[in-house]
Amino acid sequence: MASITILLSFGIPMTGYHMLPLDIVEDAPLRIEVTGHQWWWEVHYPSTGFVTKNELHLPVGVPIDVHVSSADVIHSFWIPKLAGKIDAIPGRTNILRLQSDTTGHFRGQCAEFCGTEHALMVLSVKAHTPENFESWLKAQKDD
């Protein structure tokens, strides 16, 4: 029993660490909060306070922590070109670290059947150069 406890105490933290898609950094440069709703995505940029609907904007070349939750039923946040799926669960926040290395437009899709309009629960993802991302943020603040 004692040897199992010792092995687990070494094994679990290391396994968990290696399952992360990107290295841990002290401060993620950008935090984006995504909440699933039947049947749309709410995307909140805490550093600015504004919200987009069914659109996620991010700068290329930097790791981003996406804090994923749900307002109603279980959804699954998935941008196939950028990262694997992560569940959006009511009352819980799951964190997905992702990074885009190219500018462009990507499609996100809810990957968990969540009701009659599940298939329409699409997220439009735009990866900007850092300069264009700052311009986009500024334009949102000015609106």
Applying CB under 5 A, the residues found at the interface with Cu ion are 75, 110, 114, 118, 121
**Amino acid making up residue 97:** R
H/E segment holding residue 56: strand 55-59
Nearer to Cu ion, 110 or 127 (CB): 110
CB of 73 to Cu ion, least distance (A): 8
CB of 115 to Cu ion, least distance (A): 7
CB of 4 to Cu ion, least distance (A): 39
CB of 110 to Cu ion, least distance (A): 3
How far apart CA 104 and CA 78 sit, in angstroms, is: 17
Nearer to Cu ion, 36 or 59 (CB): 36
Which residue(s) pair with 95 in the sheet?
A: 67
What is the per-residue burial (b if ≥16 Cβ within 10 Å, else e) of 16-48?
A: eeeeeeeeeeeebebebbbbbbbbbbbbebeee
Angle at 110 between CA 45 and CA 104, to 5 degrees: 60
Q: What are phi and psi of 86, to 5 degrees?
A: -145, 140
Nearer to Cu ion, 9 or 116 (CB): 116
Nearer to Cu ion, 85 or 97 (CB): 85
Nearer to Cu ion, 60 or 74 (CB): 74
CB of 111 to Cu ion, least distance (A): 7
